[in-house]
Structure 1
Amino acid sequence: MSQGVTYADLRFVRTPPEKSQEKDPSEGELTYENIQGPPCQEKRTPTPTEATKESDHRTWYAILALLAACLFLLTAAIGLGVRYWQVSRQLQQATEDGSALERRMGSQEGSLAQTQAQLEEAQEELHSTNRTLWNCLAAGNRTQEQLREANQSLTLTQKEKEKLQQEKEELQRDKKELEEEKKQQQEDKARLQEEKETVQQQLEEMGGKLELLITCQQKDCCPRGWKFFGWKCLRISREMKSWWDSQNACKSESSQLLVLKPWSAKELWDATFIDKKTQYWIGLKKVRQPESWKWVDGTGYEGTEHIGTCRDTGYCIQMSRGALEECSCWNVKRFICEKEASPDQPL
């Protein structure tokens, strides 16, 4: 493969004096340009003028080279001076740093020696503390053993205390049971005494009633127009009145409206002298404060019979078909008066 070769000549030209009068001719501006040389194959002999010019050019080239070399040497000297100054400063700084480091190392060596002494003292104190700790541990073990023995004794004492407490509680329960039994016996005794008194009273009442019954069988114990029934004298009215007027009519005869004791309405209704087709006022009435049923003798109603209602409901009780009904107190009906039977009743 063929390659081409190109040759170029450099020529430095000084600026003419007339173009730069204010400057030193020796400091004229140098320029360079590419000069197309003559063909290699053309060789000619230079003229004297051209030889002189060529010599001048070479002189200037030498001067320029010398100036460039001086400038380079000056620059190198300045660089070396600056570098020497920098190295000197660094060396001085390193020397000062070394001195400070030596002083600091000396101080640290002193501190290290002091620290070493303190460390030795601390180790000695640590050994002493360890010995004291071992002694404390031994004492603690002995105390722990004593405490364990004390706990065992306390446990035994606690068990004995609990056992005694249980025995005490059992004794208290037995005492309480005995007291309850005693109290129950006293209550039973009091109840039996009350029952005895009640039975005695009932016996006396029954005896009186039996005597009255025997007497009334032999002699009329009720006034004329009154019927003897259940140890009472009853009068069945013919006239019809309100409940209030019926009560007043009974009072006018020293009696009161019927109180169904000790027999029920059904038992009275089955008597032969009762008209089964009518209704009768009896001495039972509702009061408001507190709301309850009261007999005219002031006692409360304790019967188990159901109390119904009639068409005109109210607060007064009538007896109808062997049952009790609440009706308006202002309705007019027949009524039943009662008084105690007595052999001394006027005929």
Structure 2
Amino acid sequence: MAQSVVYADLKFAMAPPLTSPTCHAAPDEDDSPYENMPPAPVPVAPSPGRRPRHWRVAVRLLAASLLLLVATVVALGTCYWQVTHSLQDASREHAAERGRLSQEVRAREQSLEQMRLELAWAMAELQRAWREGNSSRQELGNLNVKLGHTRQELAVLQEEMQEVQGELRASKSTVSSLRACVNTDCCPSGWVLYRGKCLFISMSRKTWWESRHDCRMKSAQLLVQGNWPTWTLPQFLVMSDEAYWIGAQFSSDSKRTVVWQDSKQFYPPNHSTECGMSADGNIESSKCVRKYQWICEQPPMLSSPSKTSLSFLDKD
């Protein structure tokens, strides 16, 4: 009995190489190992004691299928290993990248913190400079005010200096006449020129009213302070132990003020009145009835230029 022969072209898919990073998809229909297999005819019952031929073909097909299944499992395992390895590499790269980004973020945060501190310091310095600037402007204003006052005082001093210079120039013209006055008749004979006044110092002693009368007989008056800034006498009178009547009386009130003879107020003679005397260069009070030496004064006989500078010489 004739048997049908079945020819089958088996095509086995090759497993992808182990180094390949990707997995292939399922084989296309064109690559099917059963593409050239025509439909098998109805098998004829085999003869007893002998296996049919198509049985062997089926066994071969089963072996090929198992081989294909093993290759597919190996390929899938290789693909799984590659994918796992790739995922691990990606995870490590991701961790490294995340660490690098974390370091950059920390570095940026530190830089921002440093910039914030520098900005705070700059603002503090700016405020301090602003306060110092305000203080400097206030000090400058005060200095300008002081400078204005100083300029005014300087102008006043310049005017006073000009007046003094004018008085000095006027006094130069009278130096010769004043020198001549000491040796000639500017003051009466026996009188002394002192601070613009001709002074007469008595040798006898009298009461204050008698001394005053004697000075009037000489066309003079008892010595008064007048325009002297302080009470001063020649040094030889200060150093002497004598007391000299001067043209002063003391008021009877509790203040006991000095009343000079050239003023309008004058106390009539009585035993209780106290008059002024000069002792050791000081003005003291004493009973007018007591007897002391006295000092008369009168202006010197000067020319007109000399008289204009006499007030200036009295200030020396």
Provide TM-score, normalisation by structure 1: 0.37
Decide which structure has greater strand share: 1
Structure with more contact order per residue of length (Cα contacts < 8 Å, sep ≥ 6): 2
Provide TM-score, normalisation by structure 2: 0.40
Decide which structure has greater helix share: 1
